[in-house]
A and B are shown apart, each in its own frame.
Chain A
């Protein structure tokens, strides 16, 4: 009996494949041409920074056998600086340190901001008002001054994780606002009521139900946070309040290049600058693509 039934069922079965939520997001993302190109370029930059040092013969340190101020050549594709440092090796290390900071800031500030925003939006009432007033206070504090003052006060030489920590504890406010706005509407939904009536604790509801449902907001803000962190870290390093020599960072390389934009050492100035732009630009496009992919309500502005 069952033998005759199954072919009939197969014929009647819906032939189109079922698609999960993430598969849909992925398909929409890969239709966004600029975002896909950016993703490829960003992955190449990450490989350059983390895998590159294992493949390239020079590291970022000063070597006596490297000529000073050599123009780009096959031996030193990005040239060398005054002290005798291969700029390709230095660029790999600098990009790595800047990316280290950016990725840790993105993750740290997102976790902090998402939890903060979710708690404020979930409890509402006076807890929410107090927490939002604190956000107002954070908004008024000049970001560069307070992060610079803390980084400048570190006695030992500033390492990338110092910078990551300092930038993360002051960079989470925008995420907190975005997540709170989402949670304010989510908390009235039936599934939250259901979770509560099933005996779910506040913490359980926040972590297992509210935050996963704000994932689209969170993922987009992670990407934007990477661009923000790269720009802040390099700015502070440029001002002498960030990562310090002998370690290196993209901001530090530009600072060291000084006024060489139009003289024979132009490569010292343009290469690290273009690397910062490349990272921030691709990240912004990826974030844009993700936003379009995750929010079907939003019309896709650019394809």
Chain B
């Protein structure tokens, strides 16, 4: 098992390298931050920008090198002149915003904000998907089944930004009616709040409810259809019929015999939902004014900040790959037919 995990992690490295190379080339070719910066300076001063400034800009952003060289120095930091680049040395590269903006610092603080949202939403959507799927399967072809299936289709078709805007305004209205602030709809926590981890977490809870709900509803439908299909398959299998024939109580059959087996495909599918939630987090964060990773990547895209976009690509790639790894491990743990040698 340990060997299997290590081998899978080693196999992820080339995939991650390939993904970053592809993204780096695309983002780098599409943007020219030096030109943008020069334009900005010449707009504010009204004079042509001197060559020395251009050279300084180019060398500070490593744009005096070719794209392959720039990728290499971004990855390794070998031949680095300013001491602010090279992933292997723990440096994320210079931001276009200047040295005041440290990509590494921004990304590491924002990562926990986004992870909090994504994990809660993914767990919640798995929970509600299992519930909806099982109820739907047990009451197959009943009115409940049709209603749940239709709701699933509806949420599958609902754009998350629309749902987010709707829920945000709804929460604002609800707060007005109740005269309370149960639901916080802007930001990820009280501004300037300090305390230990638990206090910060308790402070962030009212801010978490509505965005988590939005992300949950955006992601549960696909898993729930999966759960329904797998539950139906198991319920029609011979061993469940045998258990019933033996006279085992219905509840026990459902829980111990049917559900346990029916959870396997869902458990392996669910970690992949992380990648969907990461994308959804971009939208929810920008609607609810969170200062998370998704909004950071949006700002970076708008500014044409290559190294900041790459930081997001790398982190979200790692999160997705970890999801895939968990899914593979769960497959081996839950399904006794599969053994990792």
Residues of A within 8 A of B (CB): 133-134, 136-146, 148-150, 152-153, 227, 231, 234-235, 238-241, 251, 254, 259, 261-262, 269, 273, 276-277, 279-281, 283-285, 302
Closest A residue, CB atoms, query B19: A140
Dominant SS among interface residues on chain B = helix
Q: A140-B19, A145-B301, A254-B162 are in contact. List 6 more A-B contacts (CB 8 A).
A: A134-B18, A142-B279, A235-B161, A259-B169, A280-B156, A302-B149
- Asked if B22 and A137 sit within 8 Å, CB to CB, the answer is yes
- Asked if A142 and B316 sit within 8 Å, CB to CB, the answer is yes
The B111-162 residues at the A interface (CB cut-off 8 A) are 146, 149, 153-154, 156-162
Complex: how many Å from CA A149 to CA B311?
13
Complex: how many Å from CA A88 to CA B302?
31
Complex: how many Å from CA A233 to CA B333?
39
Complex: how many Å from CA A146 to CA B297?
10
Option from B14, B158, B321 in Cβ contact (under 8 Å) with A277: B158
Complex: how many Å from CA A241 to CA B282?
13
Complex: how many Å from CA A150 to CA B172?
35
Q: A133-B14, A142-B278 are in contact. Are A231 and B159 (CB under 8 A)?
A: yes
- Asked if A239 and B23 sit within 8 Å, CB to CB, the answer is no
Q: A140-B321, A261-B169, A302-B149 are in contact. Are A145 and B297 (CB under 8 A)?
A: yes
Asked if B325 is at the interface (CB within 8 A of a chain A CB), the reply is no
Number of A-B contacts (CB under 8 A): 132
Closest A residue, CB atoms, query B14: A133
Closest A residue, CB atoms, query B309: A149
Residues on A with beta carbons closer than 8 Å to the beta carbon of B162: 254, 273, 276-277
- Asked if A239 and B19 sit within 8 Å, CB to CB, the answer is no
Complex: how many Å from CA A153 to CA B275?
24
Complex: how many Å from CA A146 to CA B22?
10
Residues on A with beta carbons closer than 8 Å to the beta carbon of B38: none
Asked if B31 is at the interface (CB within 8 A of a chain A CB), the reply is yes
**Most chain-B Cβ atoms within 10 A of its Cβ — which of A136, A140, A149, A302?**
A140
Asked if B2 is at the interface (CB within 8 A of a chain A CB), the reply is no
- Asked if A141 and B160 sit within 8 Å, CB to CB, the answer is no
Complex: how many Å from CA A234 to CA B18?
29
6 A-B pairs with C-beta separation under 8 A: A140-B19, A149-B30, A153-B304, A259-B165, A273-B162, A284-B157
- Asked if B15 and A137 sit within 8 Å, CB to CB, the answer is yes
Render B24-52 as a binary contact track against A, CB cut-off 8 A, 1 for contact. 00110011000000000000000000000
Closest A residue, CB atoms, query B283: A235
- Asked if A140 and B15 sit within 8 Å, CB to CB, the answer is yes
- Asked if A149 and B149 sit within 8 Å, CB to CB, the answer is no
- Asked if A280 and B157 sit within 8 Å, CB to CB, the answer is yes
